[in-house]
Amino acid sequence: MRLLLIEDDPVLSRSLKTDLETAGYAVDTAMDGERGEFLGATEHYDAALLDLGLPKLSGLDVLRRWRAADNGVPVIVLTARDAWYEKVDGFKAGADDYLGKPFHTPELLARLQALLKRANRRHPIPLDLEGVMLDEERQSVTVDGGPAVALTAIEFRLLRYFMLHSGRLLSKSHLLERVYDDARDPDSNVIEVYVNRLRRIVGNDLIQTRRGQGYVFGRKA
């Protein structure tokens, strides 16, 4: 899954990006409100982590502009501000959750996971489809009750995205956007490589190829 992190503290931004990528997310970053608002308006993200005290454009204004443009990306507000009325302002502007600084990364990850699960309500917790159970904390998968298989970061991101969008036709370019951040420029053939790896783990029949179109996760009816 692809996240947008808008945080002007360079130390915190680097630290969070590392922690989030370790947890299996692709992360784009912005250091000011204008850049963050632009990325959120022009790119597709599964969720955004938004600081309020940003230069150039405040976090609240970023959020208001997204919601005014009918951009429903789930947003967790990160802020050192602890006044209750500022939290109210954030929720009124369209925030989905609120986390005060300083915070522990495991709490952020738990809130993010819960938010993403709510955004994909039709899916069970944990992800368990077609005999495939994905352990998001350990980044491993079990198939038909067999032993757990550890996944690489890219394998984990790709399988999670497939499972959250089972039955949908997903193009190579779309999948690249979901599993890589904007700092990388991978060849489109890399998706074929990782799809083949996943097929060896979950079975060939679970990831169907639609020639010239992309892939569909799920067994044929």
**How, if at all, do strands 47-51 and 2-6 pair?**
parallel
Q: Which residues pair with residue 210 across a beta bridge?
A: 214
CB 115 within 8 A of CB 97: yes
Q: Which residues pair with residue 27 across a beta bridge?
A: 3
List CB contacts of 34: < 8 A, sequence separation 6 or more.
Answer: 56, 57
221 pLDDT tier (thresholds 50, 70, 90): very low
**Tell me, which fold does domain 127-217 have in CATH?**
Arc Repressor Mutant, subunit A (1.10.10)
Distance CA 3, CA 46 (A): 6
pLDDT > 70? residue 18: yes
pLDDT tens figures, 135-176: 887 889 999 888 999 998 889 989 988 988 888 899 888 888
CB 118 within 8 A of CB 89: no
pLDDT > 90? residue 64: yes
pTM of the model: 0.65
pLDDT tens figures, 30-40: 999 999 999 99
How much of the chain, in percent, has pLDDT values that exceed 70? 90
Nearest by Cα to 123 from 74, 164, 167: 164
The CATH H-level (homologous superfamily) assignment of domain 2-119 is Response regulator (3.40.50.2300)
Question: What pLDDT was estimated at residue 90?
Answer: 80
DSSP SS3 for 22 = helix
pLDDT > 80? residue 217: yes
> What is the average pLDDT score of the chain?
86
Domain range list for the chain: 2-119, 127-217
